[in-house]
Structure 1
Amino acid sequence: MKTIAAVNSSRGNSIARFPLVVSRKATFHATRTLSASAAKSESNSSLTIVRPDDWHLHLRDGDFMRSVVNHTAQHYSRAIVMPNLAPPVTTTTAALAYRQRILDALAHPVAPSSTAVPSKHSFTPLMTLYLTDSTSPDEIHRAKASGAVFACKLYPAGATTNSDSGVTDIAKVLPALKAMAQVGLPLLVHGEVTDAHVDMFDREAVFIQQRLVPLLNQLPELKVVMEHITTRDAAEFVLAAPANVAATVTPQHLLLNRNALLAGGLRPHAYCLPVLKRETHRQAVLAAVASGSKKFFLGTDSAPHARGLKEAACGCAGMYSAPVSLAHYAAAFEAAGALDKLEAFASFNGPDFYGLPRNKDTVTLAKTRRNKVPDSYVYGNTVVIPMSAGQVVDWEVL
């Protein structure tokens, strides 16, 4: 049986206002192949693409969810919704109940005058289950049969927000993973180890070598999405892996390196997990998505936290990018000389991997250079600070 080997590579005020890093060093000079919709408007500093989907999103719950859900629904048609609530979404019954709460929140946002979704658009939440050591094959079959659950999420215990109930040993969920391979339910992985002796900046590479490669050799037919990849190691691994292995990439990991987090002071609103990496890794990830490979697709990992929970002695991980994410992706692809590849990354590769139809309607972005991001947004009874708060970004969604 053909086995997979890990790819080795060398590694080399309180509101966050950090410059975007947009180097052309990562550019792949590929043949330009715009779709009809994308080609029609590119020459006029605007770009019309098939409406995209977000394949990694945190919506939270209750009034917090009602505050943010329409920021995503305004720009995206569908989203894979993360299950790391408290308590986590571990059963199909819980996933269906959460889905209904999302639909209710869409109809009754906190600030309908400013965040309502245009009536011509619809938004569909795609639900996920949170894997635990006790997830059973029967639960996997129920999830698949529901028609509403589209993947299962593997959080290594302690890896990120609300991951304490996560998997302590992949061997313990092997029966569930085998059932997922049988029914075609993708596994979404937060690809970091949590071992105390592993350096924070090496957790992704070690996860690939010690966890993911053995799993894929044991279950070669399992569909796997490495979420929010951040390193050259991950980009090269996904490119070299079979077609059943793909990856999502966030706007921050395409545009920012770890200087945005650490230079000139600690910037809590630039803290996310996986943590921002050195510039060589950012360039490698940008080059991978700019290459036009079908194995990479849009996943914002937009993760709102109340301002007070970010600006704290032990602040929460996560960047709230939903309102400006599509504009940032456009900036990243433009910097890489690959605007013609944005549509496939944002609108085609994800549904193709999941076996879902592509969207029919379109969205238009324009390079106006006047899209000023608010300093904050209402978030329940507090506020959330968005990515690029207070800054003017080049692109905006019309």
Structure 2
Amino acid sequence: MAGPSGPAARIRLIRPDDWHLHLRDGAVLRDVVLDSARQFGRAIIMPNLKPPVLTTADAHAYRERVLAGLREACERVGVDETPSFDPLMTLYLTDRTTPDEIRRARDSGFVHGVKLYPAGATTHSDAGVTDLLGQCRRTLSAMQDCGMPLLVHGEVTDPAVDLFDREAVFIERVMLPLRRAFPALKVVFEHLTTADGAAYVTEADGPVGATLTPQHLLYNRNALFKGGLRPHWYCLPVLKRETHRLALLKAATSGNPRFFLGTDSAPHPRGAKEQDCGCAGCYTARHAMALYATAFESVGRLDRLEAFASLHGPAFYGLKPNSGSLTLERATDPIPQELPLGDDVVVPLAAGESLQWRMSQDAC
């Protein structure tokens, strides 16, 4: 960390984990998976493929494709040794997910969560839940009984609710009734975006945690319109006011173990972002830890980065911290304008700008 003569030149951390990651499939998977595996020992892999990951068998097959894609990526770029990377799989919750499927998932040892997408909330969420307590009560009971976490996309989809208020309304309409009905259910409020959400997670009874993305810690909604409409800053939940960003940054750097790292890195082809109805999602996997280091340093809390990135998440999920380490070094790191993505390219968050942290060249 910081020395007697100035700020830190290097940061050595227990190898971190990403508790919210989109890898897609096929050629896109092969182009993005190494970016995450170079930094993170494990990642919770989102199930919103087409078709979605609905069963334990689906999750096993997808996990095998992730590991095969990582090996292929390493061979293609000449990495001598494939990084140790454990994809932690999830199931896509629907109105028809059964308690038996939940028990199979828990017994598998490789499924670590079930994802709630309110129907229509975000990318590939059309098969999502229409009425959580009305349709999924028996399934939620099975999850509570066997300790399977529910990972929530915390926004309502009611068109009468303003886009910027959908997280706060989700707390009132979904989270509070859910906690009353299932007080011992583990719940991760993913990609938290508001002061309301941070306060709820801090004060909630029972096992509640939250992931925080780098874009929501570093940028407010002005970034969407700086110099014109900038689709590569558009994600869901959308960036909010500066007061919310500051509340999230305070939560992330507080040392509270309920808050942990989850990039929500979501690759989309450039053309799918730069069109009249552009996709939601920010690609941050390549430079994720540098982005988080930048956020923590902005408030003088680099000393709390390791706990947020490497300790809080495993503790919540009932896992041990990773045995390896990751080193970040202070060095100017220009972010590429674009990166390969299957037959297209992806534009990473803050493309063309420079960060003052990068992963050490001898890290992996």
Return the TM-score normalized by structure 2. Answer: 0.96
Amino acid at match of 1:352: A
Asked if structure 1 preserves the Cα contact closer than 8 Å seen for 2:103 and 2:142, the reply is yes
Per the alignment, residue 279 of structure 2 pairs with 316
Asked if structure 1 preserves the Cα contact closer than 8 Å seen for 2:188 and 2:209, the reply is yes
Specify which of 307, 332, 335 is matched with residue 344 of structure 1.
Answer: 307
The Cα of 1:264 is off from its aligned counterpart by 2.8
Give deviations 1:55-75, integer Å, cap 9, x for gaps. 000000001100100000000
Per the alignment, residue 212 of structure 1 pairs with 175
Specify which of 351, 354, 360 is matched with residue 389 of structure 1.
Answer: 351
Asked if structure 2 preserves the Cα contact closer than 8 Å seen for 1:376 and 1:389, the reply is yes
Distance (whole Å) between structure 2 residues aligned to residue 271 and residue 223 of structure 1:
29
Identical residues among aligned pairs (%): 56
Amino acid at match of 1:363: L
Per the alignment, residue 256 of structure 2 pairs with 293
Per the alignment, residue 156 of structure 1 pairs with 118
Specify which of 215, 222, 242 is matched with residue 259 of structure 1.
Answer: 222
| Alignment RMSD | 1.6
1:330 correspondence with 2:286: no
Per the alignment, residue 14 of structure 1 pairs with none
Give deviations 1:273-322, integer Å, cap 9, x for gaps. 00000100000110111111110000000000000000010000000000
Residue 309 of structure 1 aligns to a residue whose secondary structure is helix
Specify which of 37, 42, 47 is matched with residue 11 of structure 2.
Answer: 47
Q: How does 1:25-40 map to 2 (within 5 A)?
A: none
Per the alignment, residue 68 of structure 2 pairs with 104
1:354 correspondence with 2:354: no
Asked if structure 2 preserves the Cα contact closer than 8 Å seen for 1:63 and 1:110, the reply is no
Per the alignment, residue 25 of structure 1 pairs with none
Asked if structure 1 preserves the Cα contact closer than 8 Å seen for 2:184 and 2:206, the reply is no
1:135 correspondence with 2:117: no
Distance (whole Å) between structure 2 residues aligned to residue 149 and residue 190 of structure 1:
18
CA change 1:227–1:391 in 2 (3 A) is same
Amino acid at match of 2:20: H
Give deviations 1:61-96, integer Å, cap 9, x for gaps. 001100100000000000000000000001000000
Q: How does 1:181-260 map to 2 (within 5 A)?
A: 181-260=144-223
Distance (whole Å) between structure 1 residues aligned to residue 13 and residue 226 of structure 2:
36
Distance (whole Å) between structure 2 residues aligned to residue 93 and residue 194 of structure 1:
30
Residue 108 of structure 1 aligns to a residue whose secondary structure is helix
Asked if structure 2 preserves the Cα contact closer than 8 Å seen for 1:67 and 1:110, the reply is no
Give 5+ residue unaligned stretches, structure 2.
Answer: none
Give deviations 1:192-244, integer Å, cap 9, x for gaps. 00001000000000000111110011100000000000000000000001350
1:125 correspondence with 2:87: yes
The Cα of 1:111 is off from its aligned counterpart by 7.5
Give 5+ residue unaligned stretches, structure 1.
Answer: 1-37
Number of residue equivalences: 358
Residue 246 of structure 1 aligns to a residue whose secondary structure is strand
Amino acid at match of 2:17: D
Specify which of 49, 55, 58 is matched with residue 85 of structure 1.
Answer: 49
Distance (whole Å) between structure 2 residues aligned to residue 99 and residue 167 of structure 1:
24
Distance (whole Å) between structure 2 residues aligned to residue 391 and residue 345 of structure 1:
25
Residue 328 of structure 2 aligns to a residue whose secondary structure is strand
Asked if structure 2 preserves the Cα contact closer than 8 Å seen for 1:84 and 1:130, the reply is yes
Residue 242 of structure 1 aligns to a residue whose secondary structure is coil
CA change 1:173–1:39 in 2 (3 A) is farther
The Cα of 1:112 is off from its aligned counterpart by 2.6
Greater RCO between the two (CA within 8 Å, min separation 6)?
A: 1
The Cα of 1:44 is off from its aligned counterpart by 4.0
1:374 correspondence with 2:323: no
Distance (whole Å) between structure 1 residues aligned to residue 74 and residue 224 of structure 2:
31
CA change 1:147–1:316 in 2 (3 A) is same
Return the TM-score normalized by structure 1. Answer: 0.88
CA change 1:179–1:70 in 2 (3 A) is same
CA change 1:40–1:86 in 2 (3 A) is farther
Distance (whole Å) between structure 1 residues aligned to residue 330 and residue 199 of structure 2:
31
Asked if structure 1 preserves the Cα contact closer than 8 Å seen for 2:93 and 2:129, the reply is yes
CA change 1:110–1:378 in 2 (3 A) is farther
Distance (whole Å) between structure 1 residues aligned to residue 33 and residue 341 of structure 2:
11
Amino acid at match of 1:149: V
Residue 276 of structure 1 aligns to a residue whose secondary structure is coil
Distance (whole Å) between structure 2 residues aligned to residue 334 and residue 243 of structure 1:
31
